[in-house]
Chains A and B, each alone.
Chain A
Amino acid sequence: MAAPLLELSSVGKDYAKNDTKASRVRLVLDLLRGRGASNVFGAGKSTLLKIVAGVITPTRGTVAVAGRVGALLELGSGFHPEYSGLDNIDLAGALLGLSPGEIDAKRESIVAFADIGDHINDPIKHYSSGMVVRLGFAVATALTPDVLITDEVLAVGDESFQKKCIAWMEAYLSDGGTLLFCSHSMYHIQKLCRSALWVKDGRVEQYGAAADVCQAYLAYHEEKSAVSKRLTGIQDPRAAAAAGYYAIKLFEITPGGSIPERSALVATGEAYSPDGRPPVILIGIVRADGTPVYGVATDMDNVAPRKTSNDCYAFEIEFPSLPLLPGKYFIRMHVLDPEGVRMFDTLEKPLVVTGTAREFGLIRIEHRWRVADALHTTASRTTSVL
């Protein structure tokens, strides 16, 4: 077996911070090996990329790179603002380790790739950020390194240039190149990368197949952005009911917690009615960040909750095959007045849908491809090599 192209063992970096509270930030990465695209995101990623690029020296651990590394770390790094675009090509090429002959041979193709017209003769300081990225990426393409490190380059630049970059990256990958690609765009990650590394607070949170890591990352952030369970000011439902409010007494979902894709879900609950009339129950599904997915109320379907006592009404609803895509969601129960006009109380339960689906969005929509030939190359590229 060939030696790994990139191998990091227990790499750590300490930063001495002035404030005593956060005295040390530590980055630990236990062994990252790869061939093919790998993606990094989260806090500590820039440090990690700089370590791989050789810009900074880790406080501990070892880095071994078996090949030429090209790095596009920051916007316009290695460019001199006073120099013209052409002069900066020479400088950046020299910094990337090209010989004068190589730079001469590649200058024309770099200019063509950057495609910024006569601006190539203007000082970089007059460039827009998009133009700087174009030039930077163009120089990096000329190097054709064994490992190309890019940090959020696709975040800037116009749509057409992004497409050009992605097309170049895909060609580079299919020619056997390795991409260490840093981004917060789950779309780009899943499109370009087969493995992903999630760095959180300077530590490896997860490393594995890009799709798995992206899902975990999204679920984490969706969960973080919504925490409370009862979403109204009601503290004691019985007291609230006595005071004239419709309030939730009980809300359960089964099976709770975590369910596989396309499985059945049953929600049950009970609500207090201050005047003995049946309230309208609304059941909603939202993604963990609050994006509504689906909502349905008893009065829409011309049903009413069942009376269980003088002031209590119960309901039960079944979703036989929940079409939610893997991710983190909340199931919400709302209580409205019998007219279905005013909402009184809301309670939510978290629900994690697990699975291996790589589709985007919230729910699976039935579909069928009319041109149907299995694509074997995709299958081989998405195989993770560890």
Chain B
Amino acid sequence: MNHSLAPVPTAAVLQRNRALFANFFRRELFSRYLGSASGLAWAFLHPLALLAVYHFVFTTVFRAGPMDGKSFLLFVAVALWPWLAAQEALQRGTVSIAAHAGLIRKVAFPHEVVVYASIAATLVLQFVGYLAVLVVLALFGEPVHFEGLLLAVPLWIVMAVAVAGLTLALAALQVFIRDIEHILMPVLMILMYLTPILYPLSLVPEGMKPWVAANPFGYLVGRLRDALLDGRLNPTWGDAVAFVISISVFAAGRWIFLRLSPHFEDFV
């Protein structure tokens, strides 16, 4: 064992520390969600309640019609869920290092495992919720293309990789700059409205369209809609670019994390 900064590939870190990852993952899942009945319910009820509120506000009050020819409910659900999943993974992951301060101060272990376990627990649970909502919507007669999951699952993975990179960077910075956790909430809120989740890109005025279209998350939800609402499965070059971008975000985020993690002990 050498305490040097020689980079070890993520896969090797996870392979070597799989028992630790499994332990953190279970702890995350059980203590945060499954530990209490309300916790588990909340994990599903929160997005459902939001969906119901948006439905009320936009279709009942503002009388918005179908979006891109799809019912508003289905149109929003397909995109809202991944957003909320990413948002929650980011928020929980950002404070995960601080939450394990006791361990970090006393035990030597690869700190990144904590972040991976936190993100994995959130995303796995939210993906299950996503599937459940799609099934429920289908049961209510909404035209869900389940074969679209063949593309949707890789898209979720692309999202997870990028989210992991962002979270690694934020979690590391959070140790030194405590405000990040508090800034994150409003920033994510603003970003959600700037992302074509509650509206289609086609409704955005021409002049602003390139700006909104440049949002990588917007691209992702657009592709999810292609797959699950229209059943269009053919991968595009855009998907390859998205994949490359998400890998790059991950690499950059991890680089920042590994540069900062040796100094966590002083500050957590």
With A50-B265, A71-B108 as contacts: A94 and B2 at CB distance below 8 Å: no
Instruction: Point out the residues of chain B lying under 8 angstroms from A57, CB to CB.
Output: 3, 262-263, 265
- Check A56–B17 contact: CB distance below 8 A: no
Instruction: Point out the residues of chain B lying under 8 angstroms from A54, CB to CB.
Output: 1, 3, 108
With A57-B265, A78-B107 as contacts: A65 and B2 at CB distance below 8 Å: yes
Q: Main secondary structure on chain A at its contact with chain B?
A: loop
Size bin of chain A's contact surface: 20 to 34
In the assembled complex, the Cα of A50 lies from the Cα of B3 at a distance in Å of 12
- Check B23–A65 contact: CB distance below 8 A: no
Closest to A64 in B: B2
Q: Does B63 contact A (CB under 8 A)?
A: no
- Check B17–A97 contact: CB distance below 8 A: yes
Q: Does A109 contact B (CB under 8 A)?
A: no
Closest to B263 in A: A57
- Check A65–B1 contact: CB distance below 8 A: yes
Q: Which of A98-106, A158-166, A185-193, A203-211 contacts B (4 or more CB under 8 A)?
A: A98-106
Instruction: Point out the residues of chain A lying under 8 angstroms from B19, CB to CB.
Output: 90, 93-94, 98-100, 103
In the assembled complex, the Cα of A344 lies from the Cα of B13 at a distance in Å of 75
User: Contact string, A25-67, partner B, CB cutoff 8 A, digits 1/0?
Assistant: 0000000000000000000000000100111110000011101
Q: Does B106 contact A (CB under 8 A)?
A: yes
- Check B23–A94 contact: CB distance below 8 A: yes
Closest to B5 in A: A57
In the assembled complex, the Cα of A71 lies from the Cα of B27 at a distance in Å of 23
Instruction: Point out the residues of chain A lying under 8 angstroms from B3, CB to CB.
Output: 54, 57, 63, 65
Instruction: Point out the residues of chain B lying under 8 angstroms from A64, CB to CB.
Output: 2
Instruction: Point out the residues of chain B lying under 8 angstroms from A317, CB to CB.
Output: none
Instruction: Point out the residues of chain A lying under 8 angstroms from B23, CB to CB.
Output: 90-91, 94
In the assembled complex, the Cα of A251 lies from the Cα of B163 at a distance in Å of 81
Least CB distance from A224 to B in Å reads 31
- Check B1–A55 contact: CB distance below 8 A: no
- Check A73–B16 contact: CB distance below 8 A: no
In the assembled complex, the Cα of A239 lies from the Cα of B61 at a distance in Å of 105
User: Contact string, A1-45, partner B, CB cutoff 8 A, digits 1/0?
Assistant: 000000000000001100000000000000000000000000000
Q: Does B179 contact A (CB under 8 A)?
A: no
If A94-B20, A94-B23, A97-B16 are given as contacts, then 4 extra A-B residue pairs at C-beta distance below 8 Å, sorted by A number, are: A57-B263, A69-B1, A90-B19, A94-B17
Some 10 contacts from A to B, beta carbons below 8 A apart, are: A55-B104, A55-B107, A55-B108, A65-B1, A71-B107, A77-B102, A94-B20, A98-B19, A99-B19, A100-B19
